Each structure stands twice: as C-alpha cells, then as structure tokens.
C-alpha cells in the first residue's frame, strides 16, 4: 500500500499543487446518493468529503487537493465534489448558484468528469440526462471525451452478480453505454468511455478496490493523453478566465446557464 509522508499534505504544499499544471483535476458528477463523495474520498485514501445515507448529503460544490492514493508516483489530484447540480424540473437560485461555483472551479481545465452511478440502480435518470445536456450545451461535444463512467457499490460480497451487471452495462446493443450513446446522439466509434466497477468502502483493506482505483487513475491519464497531455478546456471556460471580477464571472456564467437551459427546454418542447 502506498503511504504518503505528512509533509506532502501540508497546507502550503497543497496550495502549490493546486496551481501545478501536472495536478489532475477530477470532478465527480451524477445523481444524489450515487457515491460521488465516497469515490473521491477513496481516490484520496482519506475521509475528506462528508458522505451519508440520508438524501442530499453534499449541499455545496467543494474542491480539495490531495496526493493521489494507491497509485505509483506522487501525483496530486484536485478533487471537485458536487451536490445535485441540475434538477430536472426547475432551475432554482441555489442550483444555479452551485453551478456557477462549479464552472468557476473548472476554469483551469478538467482532466476528467467522473460520471457516477450506483450499480444497483443502472439507469440514466432524468436528472443525469438534463445535466449532461446542459454540460454539452455549455462545454461543447468535446467534453464527452473526458467522461469516465464509474459504478460504485460493487462490494466484495456482491461479486457473484458482477458478470451479469457488467453485461447490462457493456452489451453493445442493449447495454447502458449504448443507451447513453442513443439518448445523447453519440457515435459508437467516438464515444468509448472507460468504465470502472468499484467499491468505495474499506479501500485500505481491499486489493480489488485498490486495483479499480488504479484503473480510474489510468482512465483519467488516458483522457489527457488523448488530448495531447492537456486537460479539457473550451472557449466558454477560457472566456470565464479572462473576466476580471468574481461578480462579473458569476453574471456571465448565470446568463450562459439560463440561455443554455432555455434553448434546451425549447428544443425539448419542439420535439414533443
Ligand atoms: N456498500 C457501499 N456503499 C457505498 C459505496 N459508495 C457509497 N456508498 C454509500 O452510499 C451512501 C451515499 O454515498 P455518498 O458518497 O454520500 O453519495 P453522494 O453521491 O456523494 O451523495 P450526495 O452528496 O447526497 O449527492 C453512503 O451511505 C455511502 O456509504 C460502495 O461502493 N459500497
Ligand atoms: Mg456527496
């Protein structure tokens, strides 16, 4: 098991690593309660973000820089945890404010979006579909190249079900990945995301979970490798960076979200 000396995690060092272009930037997104915070804690090998079985544990976007645990080398990772970013029925002020915080935190680029699902509930719910549509409208279709799909709750005692579950996800015609392609109009040749099945629990004791966490690391590295070793960025994120004041940034992002949201809802209406 990899251990890190506490000097690697001093506040000064972590602040330096936050601005290091070699630091990976990884954001966990997905429906409420799928295991986003638990997954980021597993990647860091420590309990950073609050987790819980009650609904909506994470209420606000949070970012933390840590050494990436369970992988060789001393790479750092900026972990961005998210609450429910996108309600399928409304765009209330709190939701928009959180999205503004979220997109501000991505302004320096993103190595990968971890799209998190619970293996016991394999479906592309309305919430996640809306969120992905909004991301595509704001970030452009290139963002799909940086999506890594992670299934949590693949615990050791449930391995007997794993083969069947993997088939439900990976089947080329009927599987979950094929469904994402269909719903979001993604060509089979171009949308080939890494798919990871993992448990976020007891990772210090489980060599299986540690292997899956290494696979997540490799999947994140692959996203950057396919992009000439660079994080994802786009014209819209670059534009945010050029805006001098925080307040103006917030107004710009809010307006973009509202515009994207209304073009999405009008296109949904026109297809009905
Ligand atoms: N058994 C098991 N439980 C898990 C796993 N991952 C997450 N959980 C549990 O699922 C519940 C929700 O996990 P969280 O990490 O809080 O989920 P979240 O997506 O961050 O939830 P919100 O912040 O509310 O959106 C917690 O009780 C976790 O302990 C897993 O791999 N196996
Ligand atoms: Mg959470």
C-alpha 75: how far from chain center: 18
pLDDT tens column, 79-137: 999 997 765 455 677 888 999 999 999 999 999 999 999 999 999 998 899 999 999 99
pLDDT at 217 over 90: yes
pLDDT tens column, 59-78: 899 999 999 999 988 899 99
Task: For tokens 């595509």, name the residue.
Answer: 136
pLDDT tens column, 160-201: 999 999 999 999 999 999 999 999 999 988 899 999 999 999
Question: Which three-class secondary structure state does DSSP give residue 54?
Answer: coil
Mean pLDDT on 134-149: 96
pLDDT over 90 percentage in the chain: 72
Atom of ligand 1 nearest to the CA of 33: 21
Nearest alpha carbon, ligand 1 atom 17: 35
Among candidate residues 268, 271, 239, 267, the one with its CA nearest the CA of residue 255: 239
pLDDT of residue 87: 58
Task: For tokens 């001098």, name the residue.
Answer: 244
Residues facing 115 on adjacent strands:
29, 149
The mean of the pLDDT values for the chain is 90
Using CB distances shorter than 6 Å, the residues near ligand 1 are 32-38, 51-53, 56-58, 83, 152-153, 155, 199-201
Q: Which two tokens stand for residue 169?
A: 């996800």
| Choice from 31, 34, 35 to test ligand 1 binding pocket (greatest atom count within 8 A of CB) | 35
pLDDT of residue 190: 87
Minimum mean pLDDT range among 15-24, 100-109, 206-215, 235-244: 15-24
Name the band, by pLDDT with cuts 50, 70 and 90, for residue 272: very low
pLDDT of residue 2: 42
pLDDT at 271 over 60: no
What residue segments make up the domains of the chain, in order of their start? 6-265
Residues facing 117 on adjacent strands:
151
pLDDT at 246 over 90: yes
Q: In terms of residues, how long is the chain?
A: 272
C-alpha 151: how far from chain center: 12
User: Which ligand is nearest the CA of 47, by number?
Assistant: 1
Nearest alpha carbon, ligand 1 atom 8: 35
Whether 131 and 86 have beta carbons less than 8 Å apart is answered as yes
Residue 112 CB partners (closer than 8 Å, separation 6+): 24, 26, 27, 146, 147, 148, 219, 220, 223, 232
Which span out of 12-26, 67-81, 257-271 was modeled with the highest average pLDDT? 67-81
pLDDT at 270 over 70: no
Question: Which three-class secondary structure state does DSSP give residue 181?
Answer: helix
For domain 6-265, give the fold: Rossmann fold (3.40.50)
Radius of gyration (Cα) for the chain, nearest Å? Answer: 18
pLDDT of residue 89: 53
């Amino acid at each position: 098991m990899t251990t890190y000396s506490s000097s690697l995690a001093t506040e000064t060092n972590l602040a330096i690593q936050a601005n290091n272009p070699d630091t990976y930037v990884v954001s966990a997104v997905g429906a409420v309660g799928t295991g986003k915070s638990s997954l980021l804690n597993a990647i860091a090998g420590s309990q950073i973000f609050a987790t819980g079985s009650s609904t909506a544990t994470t209420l606000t976007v949070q970012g933390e820089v840590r050494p990436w645990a369970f992988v060789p080398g001393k790479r750092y990772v900026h972990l961005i945890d998210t609450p429910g970013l996108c309600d399928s029925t409304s765009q209330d002020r709190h939701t928009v404010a959180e999205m503004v915080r979220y997109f501000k935190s991505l302004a320096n680029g993103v190595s990968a979006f971890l799209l998190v699902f619970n293996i016991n509930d394999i479906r592309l719910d309305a919430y996640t579909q809306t969120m992905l549509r909004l991301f595509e409208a704001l970030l452009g279709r290139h963002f799909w190249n940086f999506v890594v799909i992670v299934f949590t709750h693949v615990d050791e005692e449930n391995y007997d079900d794993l083969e069947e579950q993997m088939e439900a996800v990976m089947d080329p015609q009927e599987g979950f990945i094929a469904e994402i392609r269909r719903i979001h109009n993604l060509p089979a040749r171009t949308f080939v995301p890494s798919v990871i099945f993992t448990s976020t629990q007891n990772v210090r004791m489980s060599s299986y979970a540690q292997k899956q966490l290494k696979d997540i690391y490799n999947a994140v590295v692959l996203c950057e490798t396919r992009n000439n070793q660079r994080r994802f960025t786009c014209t819209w994120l670059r534009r945010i960076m050029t805006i001098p004041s925080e307040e103006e940034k917030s107004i710009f992002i809010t307006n973009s979200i509202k515009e994207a949201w209304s073009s999405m809802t009008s296109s949904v209406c026109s297809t009905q």
